[in-house]
Amino acid sequence: MSKKSIENIYPLSPQQQGMFFECLYAAEAGIQGAHIEQFTCILRGRLDRQAFEHAWQQTVDRHTALRTAFVWKEQEEPLQVALRQVPIPIEYQDWRSLAATEQQTRLTGYLQTDRKRGFDLATAPLIRVVLFQTEEATHQLVWSFHHILLDGWCLPLILNEVFSRYWALSQGQTPSQKPSRPYRDYISWLKKQDLSAAQQYWQQALYGFTRPTPLGVESSEAGLANAEGPYGYQFAHLPAATTRKLQTLAQQFHVTLNTVVQGAWALLLSRYSGQSDVVLGTTISGRPPDLTGIETMIGLFISTLPLRAEVVPEMHLERWLQNCQTRHLQLQQYGYCSTGQIHQWSEMPGALPLYESLLVFENYPVDASTLPAAHLAIEVSEARALGAQTNHALTFLFTVGSELEVQLVYQRQRLEQATVSRILEHLLGLLAAIVANPDQTLATFLDRIPVDEIPRVAPGPQFKHEASEVPFVAPRTPTEEKLAHIWAEVLGVEQVSINRGFFEIGGYSLLAVEVMSRMRTVFQVDLPLRVLLETPTIADLAIVIAQKQAEQVDSETLEQLLQELEQTLPEAGTLAQTEPLSPERKEVADA
């Protein structure tokens, strides 16, 4: 990219930085589809393709986040680059000659291939739009984008803007909207936040936790590698009548529906793990109310945070849920922190995750009836967002409409399909039980799950480096010893094998930045960030550091020799002008 094509350059948010490293490591490890989001819907009606294309392009032109790429290879830390102009091509495929069953098969195949295809983070745009024409006046829309650009809050904002522009363009009008507040303003806001107060809060909130809460009974036979891919998906829903009663109950208890769902999962976690004090992952919008225009800004703001829940069997459900909501409100004040920063402030070893399960509660479903396209005799239906894959064993995606819908994304190497189905059955059954008889103690709900139905879960890769079957290779040189010491301190482990990759043994974004900083200080060499991705083991890094040090020594030695030559031969410059250089001396001078 040329300088003229660049509108702005700025750092990544903590949330973006964590996602960035996860994506690069996933690519190095051959894991496809990490943090790829997909949205699908059906458009019925005569579609003006030209207006549709222009509507998308104008929307991209308005928002810097949609024109952003990332650079990192020669940088000490990754940066995001907002380009002035980024064309967004829209692909069309004609499926009208295919039977409905074949169209559905092809759509499923496309979604899988599209997710695996992913995006090149260095090349904008990190979004794709494709239209499959299934009938004369019917199209299947698939919009894919990288999660590092956008969160779920942005979906209805962008879609409403696209269809508003489409409506105007189809009527021969010129759409007019004020410039959108750029994402860099949020980055500037982040720099002003008090990290010391956040550190104090999180240290207290997570005090005493040194292991992630188990999802069940650990079993090496529980997971399995699957040819269909590393992740599986399951969908379920709570009936509309039960959903309404659950919403009414939440109002009566003066808590949110999100809190009720979080509470139900915390109860299951307590039963599954046998622990009364559990930690699960939760999300907040991450949009600071004191930043004007934040509600319509496009970018990644969502924060993933650890939520601690103490399950007291004798406590009544209502009071306990209110306590859970109080904790959730408290952590929102420090939602500008990333999981990596919180991890550093906790007592959890760096090689272990803070939590194994994540709940994403989406209060912003795309309501097709509100899209302006409806005024153009275009019906938008069957809208669905397909969640991104994460590095957690279980990720719950809840969407509230007439029914409470849940999409469960799980790691196949950790959990079997039947186990995941049972977990969903337990969760929905517990929510139904809460609705049916809410005036109960927690013990009543805990006792619903028989011991023989507690999930069996394969150990995660973060734990495998501690297993006895993994061969340990000790440092062999002083450089390897220094590197091993740095890694052990940063990761919070006693020893590190020189043949294990940094990200393989639990390293993540902020730890990678800290490791690189310490290596530069200790070895006094210039190491770009990409080194840790391209040579992630201590054994390989020691070789790179030795080469860098040798290069610096050669350069310094040459400079020293030239200085000495100038001191001892003050007329060397004059002699050089009158006396031809020998081939050997000319080679050194040219160098």
For 258-289, the pLDDT digits (tens) are: 999 999 999 999 999 999 999 999 999 999 99
Mean pLDDT of the 556-579 span: 49
For 451-493, the pLDDT digits (tens) are: 999 999 998 754 444 444 558 899 999 999 999 999 988 887 8
Q: What is the pLDDT of residue 7?
A: 93
The more confidently predicted of residues 113 and 550 is 113
Q: Give start-end residues of each CATH 3.30.559.10 domain in the chain.
A: 3-185
234-281+294-335+421-456 fold: Chloramphenicol Acetyltransferase (3.30.559)
For 43-86, the pLDDT digits (tens) are: 999 999 999 999 999 999 999 999 999 998 777 778 999 999 99
464-573 fold: 1.10.1200
Cis peptide, bond prior to residue 125, ω within 30 of zero: yes
Return the closest-CA partner of residue 166 out of 57, 93, 65: 57
3-185 fold: Chloramphenicol Acetyltransferase (3.30.559)
User: DSSP label at 389?
Assistant: B
Secondary structure percentages of the chain, helix, strand, coil, to 5? 45, 20, 35
pLDDT range class, residue 29, cuts 50, 70, 90? low
Distances (CA, A) of 109 to 103, 128, 545: 10, 16, 45
Q: Give start-end residues of each CATH 1.10.1200.10 domain in the chain.
A: 464-573
Amino acid identity of 567?
Q
Cα–Cα distance, 149 to 35 (Å, whole number): 10
Amino acid identity of 111?
L
Cα–Cα distance, 255 to 246 (Å, whole number): 11
For 130-170, the pLDDT digits (tens) are: 999 999 999 999 999 999 999 989 999 999 999 989 988 98
Cα–Cα distance, 546 to 543 (Å, whole number): 5
Cα–Cα distance, 128 to 40 (Å, whole number): 12
Q: Does the pLDDT of residue 429 top 60, yes or no?
A: yes
Collect all residues with Cβ–Cβ distance below 8 Å to 290 and sequence separation of at least 6.
none
3-state secondary structure of 179: coil
Q: What is the pLDDT of residue 474?
A: 92
Dihedral of the CA atoms 239, 244, 247, 253 (nearest 10)?
Answer: -110
Cα–Cα distance, 520 to 518 (Å, whole number): 5
Q: Is 86 exposed, middle or buried (0-12, 13-18, 19+ CB in 10 A)?
A: buried
Which stretches of 5-99 are DSSP H helices? 14-28, 49-62
Cα–Cα distance, 500 to 497 (Å, whole number): 6
The more confidently predicted of residues 22 and 377 is 22
Mean pLDDT of the 346-364 span: 84
Which stretches of 391-416 are DSSP H helices? none
Predicted model pTM: 0.80
For 208-264, the pLDDT digits (tens) are: 999 999 999 988 776 665 546 678 889 999 999 999 999 999 999 999 999 999 999
Q: Does the pLDDT of residue 345 top 80, yes or no?
A: yes
Q: Which residues pair with 20 in a beta bridge?
A: none
